[in-house]
Structure 1
């Protein structure tokens, strides 16, 4: 019985030829764990760079892996094509992890991951003071994250994109729900932090890429959930970012935005590069309408006690209107919640 997408006979022969070689099979096993550069693979396999590059080219030609440019780096990962990915997953799952060659490869991979973790920790330490200062002004992250999980629900998600992924926290938070997740950020340093965090959390169904929120390097009309978490206040054109995020959604897909309500903390603009001091619900509703999205829900998380004059975190959830059914007056619901 066929359990997955079919592969044409000639293509299957090419795939089998590409995979049926010890070094290339080792590469597939390694890429099933994480994205790697040519230098990483050269170090792990103990082979010359030209030889490793030749193996990678054959795997690329067979459609088993993909190449993604990240600044001056070229990162390799398993193909996102369903048929190829299913084939590789099936083959790799049958490799004995205690095989001497595999065991040695994974030990070297762990050393590379450890170096990534150390670099990420160093960057985080340098910037943690400013992040902690902002966090102290709003409700704890755990409370907001619990609200996000409640809003998104427990339904399975085929594809998620996190724009301005930062530390990769939302990819980690929703990893149990989605089949494939992609985080986009324009900072290579933040991508290193995100990659290290995802590896530490054991998240294998997500990847991060260098890119701009105004032109994200992912397919349009293909994603069930797009998130923008505490990013809009850094942007000079939030409306354009929302329109671009909307273009990524498949019909009925959802856009989840987390940011601050309007506030008067000028030091965030002066010291932390915030271009916007929060967003009003009316403004967000207008931007969603321009992007052909229907608002589904709005929630606020206001600080209490000594932090009562701090930042209110707002969450706006909108949906691609292309499959709205009759009787679903989402904007009326949103206005009631705003009132």
Structure 2
């Protein structure tokens, strides 16, 4: 009890500064880079960075490096740590919403979000033709998404991980079924698209992070649902990615993999960087078994009337370990341990 009181006092002291309160109010609306926060507040980068360090030391915000950028967000609740997010929201509930600075910050944040959305749309338009060509080769995306939702079930899921999140579509699709969600991707450009899409859709419980599917930046055994959607055919070591995903599952957790069945469309290898021309049932079953997972369902979505069309396969597997009664597993959104 004493340590919790001390931590709360430290958090309240850290928040007891006008600039730091403004930073917390902004981060309550989503993660931001130092540059974005600097532009909104109109203060120098060293000054903003110093305030952010104080907030991070108090456990109110988390720091997430992404290449040469650093994203800050409200701290997640992790095992052994009080919830800084709850403290922040209790403090903000007492703040004057009509405060001139807070109001101006919200207006500048709205402008920033519109700029980010426009940038994301430009990127998407530049690549839309190639993505549309691939989508035209298989059943409509809405049918694939409906099948993925049906395979997962209604949930709710406490913690979801989307490996190779791309535009963040799976995070958006599962928004109504997840309490917390994390998407990882190796592309900074795609993460910018995902962030803009999630903000536009009002998906507040999901966030994204730079990350390698073969070396996930997450706490082990922390997610009750993991998705790998149209990713494995790009990888040099898809079996390793399956094994890594299995390590992220809590006992009894679910893994859903969506990818193409074997096909002969060589242009996807030559033009779209596909390393594999689809994945067969037997090979996937072997990968899942080697990762310690029990295969559940397999569903093939094959378009009709076109011999060269792509079949989309959805595999569902489960961690073989039964969750212990009363087990309290963390949400897995912290750094690798």
Structure-1-length-normalised TM-score: 0.91
1:70 aligns with 2:66: yes
- Unaligned ranges ≥5, structure 2: 325-337
Any conservation in 2 of the 1:303–1:309 contact (CA below 8 Å)? no
Separation in structure 2 between the aligned mates of residue 106 and residue 308 of structure 1, nearest angstrom: 53
Which residues of 2 match residues 280-299 of structure 1 at below 5 A?
A: 280-299=280-299
Q: Which residue does the alignment assign to 1:312? A: 311
1:115-126 alignment runs, 5 A limit: 115-126=115-126
Alignment of 1:197-212 (within 5 A): 197-212=197-212
Shift of 1:99: 3.1
Q: Note the aligned Cα RMSD (angstroms).
A: 1.7
1-side partners of 2:2 and 2:143: how far apart?
45
DSSP 3-state at the match of 2:275: coil
Q: Give 1:89 shift.
A: 2.5
SS in 1 for 2:308: coil
Change in 2 beyond 3 A, CA 1:141/1:98 = farther
* Shift in CA distance, 13/126, structure 1 to aligned 2, threshold 3 Å: same
- C-alpha contact 2:251 2:323 (8 A) present in aligned 1: no
What residue number does 1:28 align with?
24
Partners of 1:210 and 1:303 in 2: CA distance? 34
Deviations 1:38-68 (A, max 9, x none): 1111111122222111110110110000101
1:49 aligns with 2:45: yes
TM-score by structure 2 length? 0.91
* Change beyond 3 A, Cα 1:152–1:42: same
**Structure 1 residue ranges without an equivalent (≥5):** 326-339
CA shift for structure 1 position 180 = 1.2
The structure whose RCO (Cα within 8 Å, separation 6+) is larger is 2
How far apart are 1:91 and its partner, in Å?
A: 2.5
8 Å CA contact 2:252–2:318 kept in 1: the answer is yes
CA distance, structure 2, for counterparts of residue 116 and residue 257 of structure 1: 30
Question: Residues 166-216 of structure 1: CA distance to partner in whole angstroms, max 9, x if unpaired?
Answer: 010000000111111111111101111111111111111111111111111
- How far residue 29 of structure 1 moved from its aligned partner, in angstroms, is 1.1
Question: What's 1:258 paired with?
Answer: 258
Q: Distance in 2 between matches of 1:7 and 1:146?
A: 47
Q: Distance in 1 between matches of 2:28 and 2:196?
A: 16
Query: In the alignment, which residue of structure 1 is the partner of 2:5?
Result: 9
Question: Is the 2:268–2:274 Cα contact (8 Å) retained in structure 1?
Answer: yes
2:104 counterpart residue number = 104
Q: Number of paired residues? A: 320
Secondary structure, aligned partner of 2:175: coil
Residues 265 and 308 in structure 2, CA contact (< 8 A), matched pair in contact too: no
SS at match of 1:190: helix
Matched, 1:268 2:264: no
Contact 1:186/1:210, CA 8 A, preserved across alignment? yes
| Contact 1:302–1:308 (8 Å) recurs in 2 | no
Distance 1:7 1:293 in 2: 40
Counterpart CA distance in 2 for 1:318 and 1:237 is 19
